[in-house]
Structure 1
């Protein structure tokens, strides 16, 4: 099997087909493009998500906090706590563990969340540090985004741009090589993108505006996230490459390594579906918070999932472009 998360077909055949829904309290079952689990607690819903960091050992404490909080935010919900499981190889020092936790705690403070538990161990089952993070949020049931709402004609919005997390990771992992080739400024710009990988603010704003759906952009990049949303909602779409913002460092690095920035992991970006009548309201709220975004396409009838000038199909997400490099 390929490195990276399982393909859509593998998830359906190997994972989802084995699951049986037994409890009525579980409101949403696992699915392609579904970021969170929803558990009914009367007037409130507990929103949960889990994700690992496996593609890098750099900035891993920071990344672990944000990837799971981003998933919670994709439901328009403010995260309140996370649990961290740290698996570290033999030879890991106490200083390294402490630094990971200092980074994670610092990011948690910025998001006003608590680290509420987890597990830490040294093991020969891994050859570098791996963290799995589980996030928890709480929301009134009446205020949850309606997961059945997206419709033909809804606009597709992308916040920030493509390849944000992947660019940052590559710049940390390949720093010396890239500095020799392109100079310090490109590398520093790329590394700084990891300071913008939270989508909590835009997720909460969009939830209050009343959007039709949200999905944070992780493995598989922008095109992978769009494909997953279409698959989840049984819709097609048209997406236009020239509307997708790509940072200069991302362009340079992707050109050099011959990888597709639109297929590069991009925590820090959120895909949002929204009714055309609400786009000006969303723009006003985002502008006030200096959140960059662009309208990159719209949902269409089920069938074609198109990119470019409407003549190229978007394929299902496969192994992320990051794994070709690190």
Structure 2
């Protein structure tokens, strides 16, 4: 099997079909494109999400906190707490573990999130440090149930742009190569991309106006579009020229011969909205300092395509992220 998260078809065959027992308090089933599990607590619901960091060796605490809090933000609420697990290989220094926790705590302070507990151990099972987080948020049950139905013609809005997280990770992992070939300024700009990986603000700001939200992770923009299309049982048309790609992302992707639209992009949120509200949402986000673009729409049939001029290309099921071709 390929490096990276399992393909959707493998998830269906190997994971989902073997999960059969469900308690009445659980409101959601595991599903392609779903970001959180939802638990019923009377007039409130709890949103829970879990993800590890396996594609990086630097900025582990920052990445682990943000990618999990981003999942909670797709529900339009603030994350409140998280559990932090660190699995470190033999030979790990005490200060390396302390740095991960310190970095994680700094991100939690920015987001007003508490580290509630977790687990830390040194183990022969891993050959480099793996950090995993489970995040939780609390919302009103009425907000969970009132989202509008996603329909053909609804627009897709992308915040920020493509390849945000992947650009930052590659900059840290391949810093000398980038400095030598692309220059110090490109390296600096690329590393700074990791300061943009939170989507908590845009999730909360956009929530009253959208029908759904999905954060962009492994598989990049095209992977996220494929996933939300599957989630809603619709097709999609995307316009390539509408997708923002930062200069440093473009330079790094050209250098390593990878596709920025298939590069992991925590920091980007994919919003689904009534087409009559699309421009308003873009304006509201801009007034809060968050750039976004309407990049396409849902269609009735199940085809998924990206259009560039007169060229139409199918968006296929996401495979191993472009990041793993570099790091």
1:251-270 to structure 2, matched below 5 A, reads 251-270=250-269
1:277-316 to structure 2, matched below 5 A, reads 277-309=276-308, 311-316=312-317
State the match for 2:193 in structure 1: 193
Distance 2:292 2:286 in 1: 9
Q: Which moved more, 1:302-311 or 1:81-90?
A: 302-311
State the match for 1:78 in structure 2: 78
State the match for 1:319 in structure 2: 320
Residues 102-136 of structure 1 show CA distances to partners (whole Å, capped at 9, x for unaligned) of 11000000000101110000111111110111000
Distance 2:145 2:205 in 1: 12
1:245-256 to structure 2, matched below 5 A, reads 245-256=244-255
RMSD: 1.1
**5+ long unaligned stretches in structure 2:** none
Q: Does the 8 Å contact 1:146/1:212 carry over to 2?
A: no
Give the deviation of 1:11 after TM superposition: 0.2
The TM-score, its normalising length taken from structure 2, stands at 0.97
Give the deviation of 1:144 after TM superposition: 2.1
Count of residues paired in the alignment: 325
1:103-252 to structure 2, matched below 5 A, reads 103-144=103-144, 146=146, 149-209=149-209, 211-252=210-251
Give the deviation of 1:23 after TM superposition: 1.1
Q: Does the 8 Å contact 2:282/2:291 carry over to 1?
A: no
State the match for 1:26 in structure 2: 26
Q: Secondary structure at the match of 1:4?
A: coil
Give the deviation of 1:278 after TM superposition: 1.6
Give the deviation of 1:287 after TM superposition: 1.8
Distance 1:184 1:217 in 2: 28
Q: 1:166 to 1:75 in 2, by over 3 A?
A: same
State the match for 1:15 in structure 2: 15
Q: Secondary structure at the match of 2:261?
A: helix
Q: Secondary structure at the match of 1:287?
A: helix
1:46-61 to structure 2, matched below 5 A, reads 46-61=46-61
Q: Does the 8 Å contact 1:35/1:74 carry over to 2?
A: yes
Q: Which runs of 4+ in 1 moved over 6 A?
A: none
1:60-71 to structure 2, matched below 5 A, reads 60-71=60-71
